[in-house]
Amino acid sequence: MAPNTLQLACLTTPLLTLTILSLPSSSFIRQCLYPIPAVLFLRALFWPPKFSASDNEAVQEAFKLGTLYASFAFAFAHYLYAYGYDTPEYFYKVRWVEGSGKDGDGKGGYERVGYPEDGGFWGRFKWSLSLVTALRGVGWNFQVSGLPKTRFARSRGECVRETAVTIVISHLSWLTAGAICGFFARLLRDEELAARYLFLYALVGKNLVVQMAAVSAAWGVRNIAFTMLVSSYLKIVFVGFGIGGGEWSDPARWYRMFGGLGDCWSVRSVWGRVWHQSIRKCIQVPGDKIAALVFGTDPKSLPQPIQLLRRFFLLFSAFAVSGFIHAAGSYFIIFGMDNYNPPTEGPPWYYTFYFFISQAFVIAIEEVVFWALGVSNTPEEVGKSKVRWVVGVGYTTLWFIWCTTVLWADPESRVVGFVPAGVGEGYAHVFDRIDRF
């Protein structure tokens, strides 16, 4: 059976992107292939695959592939289209070379390694593969700032052992969060089970705040565990088997995916220091390009109020793109179902977008409040005051307990088919989704 428009976009665009970047800019084949990824993405967007609303397997596939599709679309647009046809001119590797410091001091220095125009197809292919897999730009000129401090393994064996432990912990965390959520779902729906565990039912069943705290915690654990598992399995394969030379087999290229929980002292610090930065660059580029057109390319020359306006524009544009990426799975469900008539009380497909754009609003409010109160939001200053840290962690935790449940987990669960079975069961449907999805 031929792949549908969504499957075709997800399957072919990675290889097409690598092929395009691996061909010389003067190549006629490259010129012919160049617009095809954009056509495939637009075709899937405007002609999503159709399926029956009762086909649960198709619903789940549409959600997963839809989210992957949106991530691919912005990532490959970054590599292929954001800087025009001659993209390789804008990307280069940065590596340390011993004894190449300035003024011949012999102390070593950083060397720029550009596109290997004369390196043959295989040399250009390896360069292109390194580019598109450097999601956080490690070793490149677009490495994201704020990567977590990482203690790198001193040997390949040590790296494999530590990664194996991470895999085990991530699997256990995934299973534990699912088991607890599955139990809570049954507790809220099964009267006999509720009667058997009266204390727990009184604590959870009648208290929506406790349910929201459990949902947000489990939602976070599941997302963190999944990201850690993907990263760790790739790491253990590439480092363990020495695949890819220094590009992927060097333990020093594998920074930690997440920062420490101790840095959750503001909403900005959660997104900038704690959460993974895997799509950070591709969600920033659209805003950067628009800001360059509107505000110019030299922001320091702008008046202070315009600089502030530009800064908030970049903040909101990045979270808006992230919101669209995470809402794409719901889009392909809503517009893919045949004869789909959503209930009037059901959430729209773009509801998840509200979660991400709300982060920008709260961060903007944080900045204004901190400025008005004369409170510093730098890690150094926060670390000097235990009260400041406790207050920050407190309001940040409360914010994520509410918004994760109300603006993300609940509406997304409803869209993918997990709806409340009756009145008074609280967030049982969300617990059920976390357990089974």
Cβ neighbours around 254 below 10 Å, total: 22
Same domain, 212 and 304: no
Residue 25 lies in a domain: yes
The pLDDT of residue 106 is 55
Same domain, 198 and 240: yes
Residue 163 lies in a domain: yes
Same domain, 247 and 341: no
Same domain, 339 and 399: yes
The pLDDT of residue 323 is 94
User: Whose CA is closest to 187, among 173, 177, 178, 198?
Assistant: 198
Domain boundary among 45, 65, 89: 89
Same domain, 305 and 191: no
Same domain, 303 and 246: no
The pLDDT of residue 1 is 45
Residue 436 lies in a domain: yes
Residue 361 lies in a domain: yes
Domain with 48 in it? 5-89
Same domain, 430 and 384: no
Residue 103 lies in a domain: no
Same domain, 223 and 278: no
Residues 6+ apart with CB under 8 A from 339: 53
Same domain, 224 and 275: no
Is the pTM higher than 0.85? yes
Same domain, 419 and 307: yes
The pLDDT of residue 344 is 47
Residue 42 lies in a domain: yes
All residue ranges of the chain with pLDDT < 50 are 1, 341, 343-344
The pLDDT of residue 229 is 94
303 backbone φψ class: left, alpha, beta (φ>0; ψ -120 to 50): beta
- CA angle, 94 as apex, 260 and 254 as ends, to 5°? 35
Q: What is the number of domains present in the chain?
A: 3
Same domain, 225 and 334: no
Domain boundary among 89, 105, 121: 89
Residue 357 lies in a domain: yes
Same domain, 325 and 402: yes
407-410 long-range contacts, Cβ below 8 Å, gap at least 24? 407/351, 407/352, 407/354, 407/355, 407/358, 408/219, 408/326, 408/352, 408/355, 409/215, 409/216, 409/219, 409/433, 409/434, 410/215, 410/347
Please give the C-alpha separations between residue 395 and each of 209, 216, 359, 405, in angstroms, as whole numbers.
15, 15, 13, 16
User: In whole angstroms, what separates CA 123 from the centre of its chain?
Assistant: 30
Residue 383 lies in a domain: yes
The pLDDT of residue 12 is 92
**What tokens appear for 245 in the block?**
């030379």
Domain boundary among 64, 89, 114: 89
The pLDDT of residue 336 is 82
CA dist., res. 74 & res. 105, Å (int): 43
**Largest CA-CA distance found in the chain, in angstroms, rounded:** 79
The pLDDT of residue 377 is 81
User: Whose CA is closest to 159, among 226, 245, 256?
Assistant: 256
Phi, psi of 96 (to 5 degrees): -85, 130
